[in-house]
Amino acid sequence: MNVGIVVEGPSDGTTYPILMQRIRNDFGMRQVRECGGKYRLKNAFLGFLKEFQRNPAWQINVAFVIRDSDCKPPQEIEEQLRKVLRESGFAPHFPVEFFATKCQLETWLLADENAINEVSKRRGKNKQIGPAQIEFESYKPAKELFQKRLSGVGLPFDPQVYKEVASLADIARITASCRHFQKFVDKVRTD
């Protein structure tokens, strides 16, 4: 299955494809487009969907438009994005799934400190952190906490580290800590 993915920025662009591949291993070619922020995403995603449709070599089967909700009601954000697509008059030949995280992507990555510790170990840092003691899906400064925890184990705050943590994170553990993550899993598994 070939997938088009539209996200806010570079860390999202490296992380979401990894999580999606781990949830559903039949994802083949992925076209990932970064918008430069959540507010730009609202105006830019249509152009990327049109690009996905214009290039027959990609044979996109489904597209995902994903952004953070910053702890606002995710359904409202998803509906705003659906409305932009509806009002544009553009009807792609592939389904488009809209998804807003319950808070931020970093919320999910914080849910499994073992993945962070393993990346630290693999990079020769061998520093450890314990579990985050937060209410994951309502913790607004998740990005800042993730940065602090990465720093605590000697890791840089960059897209490559996001990718590595996502590749090692326990999907079941994220789901147990972040119930809204199951909605993401369900969307990814939908044909």
Q: How far is CA 180 from the centre of its chain?
A: 13
Beta bridge partners of 100: 67
pLDDT band at 150 (very low <50, low <70, confident <90, very high): very high
pLDDT band at 191 (very low <50, low <70, confident <90, very high): low
Per-residue HEC secondary structure of 18-60 comes to HHHHHHCCCCCCEEEEECCCHHHHHHHHHHHHHHHHHCCCCCC
Q: What domains, with CATH codes, occur in the chain?
A: 3-103+179-189 (3.40.50), 105-177 (no CATH)
Q: Does residue 44 have a pLDDT over 90? A: yes
- Residue 43 CA to residue 175 CA, distance in Å, equals 30
41 close to 67: Cβ distance less than 8 angstroms: yes
Residue 29's pLDDT is 82
